[in-house]
Amino acid sequence: MRTMGPTRERSARVPASGSHGARRSAAPAPQAPSDGRRARGMRSRAAVLERSVQMASREGLEGLTIGALAGELGVHKSSVFALFGSKQELQLATLGAAREILVERVITPALAAPEGLARLSAIGEAWCEYLLSDVFAGGCFLCAASAEMDGRPGAVRDAVAAVMLEWVALLRTNLAAAVAAGELRGDVDPSAIAFRLNALGMAANWQRQLLHDASGVAHARAAWRSELDAHRTQPAGSVKRGARRRAAPATREDRSR
């Protein structure tokens, strides 16, 4: 996983090249723009991306432009351009930042659970909490980006698809591990169940954002658990109940027989 962090500040000095270069390097710095104080407050690329992910979650990746983001930040357009260089690079960096938020809020906490069924349960719980927590102003960034970009060929669509394939592969890998460990039945198709689990969260986000109905998250949480329980090698709790029945003490009537 690529970790995104602050980008090193670019030097404003021109490298020396002979005596002419020395004179250029000693020249006074150009006059700061009128919004220089605000621009200096945005000390890192990461700080700008914190705002761009929120803007893109509301306006969509296509609505995210250097000029629009500069207006959102209240800085000169050139300040944002210096960090990203193009609209596409801004879109890709913003997508990467949204991915890291998903990793931090959903995947990393679930890694504390053992691979397989326990981790799948943890991922489901964390994803539902993530959907309810309003991490993004416009709902789940990746759910929205998937719908927005699915019919737009290009590098941004490809990057969205790569992130979503990575997410589905995480589900599929843990389903396969659960089958290998005997936690799920051997006839389970990990790809099919991964599809259904992913669909639950995307539908819950749709219902919450478009219909303003958060009950979809509760439905998704219950359905996630039911989907996993339906394919267990042994229904949860059934062994213990059977053991209790076998170990029950004989009644007075039984002893008299």
What pLDDT score was predicted for residue 46? 86
Domain boundaries, the chain: 95-235
pLDDT for 59 equals 94
Predicted local distance difference test score (pLDDT) of residue 43: 57
Mean pLDDT for each consecutive 10-residue tract of the chain (257 residues)? Answer: 35 32 39 49 76 95 94 90 94 97 96 97 97 92 95 96 97 98 96 97 95 95 97 68 45 48
The DSSP line for the chain is -PPP-PPPPPP-SPPP-HHHHHHHHTSPPPPPPTTHHHHHH--SHHHHHHHHHHHHHHH-STT--HHHHHHHHTS-HHHHHHHHSSHHHHHHHHHHHHHHHHIIIIIHHHTTSPTTHHHHHHHHHHHHHHHHTT-STTS-HHHHHHHHHTT--SHHHHHHHHHHHHHHHHHHHHHHHHHHTTSB-TT--HHHHHHHHHHHHHHHHHHHHHS--THHHHHHHHHHHHHHHHTBSS-TTHHHHHHHHHTPPPPHHHHH-
In the CATH hierarchy, which fold is given to the domain comprising 95-235? Tetracycline Repressor; domain 2 (1.10.357)
